[in-house]
Every structure is written in C-alpha cells, then in structure tokens.
Amino acid sequence: MSEENKTLVTEFVLTGLTDRPWLQVLLFIVFTVVYLITVVGNLGLMALIWKDPHLRTPMYLFLGGLAFADVCTSTSVTPRMLVNFLDKTAMISLAECITQFYFFASSATAECFLLVVMAYDRYVAICNPLLYPVVMSSQLCSQLISMSYAIGFLHPLVHVSFLIRLTFCRSNIIHYFYCEILQLFKISCNDSSINALLIFIFAAVIQISTLMTIIISYSRVLFDILKKKSEKGRSKALSTCSAHLLSVSLYYGTLIFMYVRPMSGLAEDQDKMYSLFYTIIIPLLNPFIYSLRNKEVMQALRRVTKK
C-alpha cells in the first residue's frame, strides 16, 4: 500500500451500540434521561456542598471533586453518543477522536486518585479522630484535589503523543460507541504494540496501586471499627465506608477487566458493556450512592430546600 493511501483516513464511523433503527431511538431516549440525571445529580451535589456550611469538611470537599470528575467522564462520551443515535453517518474526525479520549482518560485517572484520597480521609477520621482536624487541613484538602486532577490531565498526554504517530488505512470503522483507544489500535496500519503496552503498563500501575492503597486503608478502618467502636459508632462508620466501597468495587471492577488484560481478552459486546458501566452508569449512580445513604447530605438538602 502506498504512503498516500496510508494517510487518507482522517474520519471514522462509530457503529454505536446497535444498528437497529427502532432500538437506536429507544436508546437515545434512555441515555438522554440518564445523562440529564447524571449532570443534575452531580452538579446538584456540588452546589449543595458549596451552599451548606455544614458540608464544607474534607469528606464532602473530596466528594464534590469526585462529582465533578463524574460529570466530565459522562460528558466526554454521552453527548457524542446521543448525536450518533440520530446521525446516520455517525462520523467523527481524528482530532475529535483524540480529544474525546483525552478528556475521558483525564477524568477517569483523576477519579482513581480521588477515590484514594477519600479512603485516606476515612482512615484518618475513623482511626485517628483526635488528629483529624490537624491532619486533614483545608490546605491539604485543596492540594490533594489539585494533585489528583493534575495527574489526570498529564497522564493521557503520554498516550496522545504516541497515538498521533499512527496512521489509519485498514478501515475507518470503529465498532464502538465512542473513540476507545484500544479500538483505534486495531485499525492502525502501523505497529501499535508499543501503544498497547503503554496502555497496559500505565493502567496496571495506576489502577492496581490505587486499588491496593484503598484496600489497605479500609482494612485498617475495618480492624479499628471492630476493635474500638461502640455499637452506634460502628454502625455509623460502616455505613459511611460501605458507600465508598460500593463505588470503588463497581468502578475498579470494570476498569481493570477492560485495560489490565490482553487486547484479545474479551469479545466486543463484553467490552461495550464494561465501557458503558464506567463511562455512563457509575457517574449516574455515584451521587445516589453517597447521598441517599448519608444523613448529613439529606439534612443539608432539606435545609437548602426550606430556604
């Protein structure tokens, strides 16, 4: 194949979740509702934390940072997917593809580190309650949130810098509902083994190291709860931690199955299901997981509503 033909493909076709017209209309309605609830739920939670002075504590500041990451994750994928449901061509340029991947990877990476920070916050609050106001100062909270997002913004630049060296000539069809980077490797006419290796290494280091930190933190928390706490204190601490652990298990379970494995490990339909979970479903669930099980958030909501 000539060099000219190798650079011809600059636009791609996203096949989406289905090719059935009637199902596309149904999915458009469903995911529009899901996206609206996701945005309203997460931005509403951020506004509530900002509005109510009782929630301006490290735990809720981190929760606000997580809510913003969830909005960014969902927004990087869902609006384009909704457009493709109605657009028969479903075309996306290479520049748009790279941009979509960058913002998704940024918010996903930031969320991994925010979950670690939240685990550390619960560890200090439950295991060292007397030192908590000193250790978790407002300045440290701001620094931890800023560092999480800084790492999030820097991490995808590594993959983007290697992605732009690839040319695409085998096909312009991406059998996915967004520009998933592993799918781009499949249609590249260059050797993308280095790119795939970098994805695997960074995903393994970030996801496994942060997950292990969370597991260690909550193991210490659980041990301390069973050892020291009264029945009432134990119930409150377990309720707070269980919400975090539920979110962590859902998020990391799908991410690790997707990226910390060989590229040929799953069928495309299974890949899509995992991707739907961490790009759309989890950002939808997080504000409800943290809010509906949290008395302080519900009380703050009632106070703001009354005002």
First to last CA, the chain: 69
Q: State how many domains the chain has.
A: 1
Structural domain including 232 reads 3-306
pLDDT in tens, 53-104: 888 889 899 999 999 999 999 999 999 999 988 877 778 898 999 999 999 9
Q: How far apart are CA 277 and CA 261, in angstroms?
A: 17
Say which amino acid occupies 167: T
Q: How far apart are CA 248 and CA 88, in angstroms?
A: 37
Close Cβ partners of 208 (under 8 Å, ≥ 6 residues apart): 256, 260
Please write down the HEC assignment for all residues of 210-279: HHHHHHHHHHHHHHHHHHHCCHHHHHHHHHHHHHHHHHHHHHHHHHHHHHCCCCCCCCHHHHHHHHHHHH
Whichever domain contains 31, its CATH number is 1.20.1070.10
pLDDT in tens, 155-214: 999 999 999 988 888 788 888 899 989 888 888 888 888 999 999 999 999 999 999 999
Q: Give the count of alpha carbons within 13 A of 200, CB side only.
A: 12
Tokens of 228: 């020291």
Q: How far apart are CA 93 and CA 81, in angstroms?
A: 14
Q: What is the mean pLDDT of residues 284-305?
A: 81
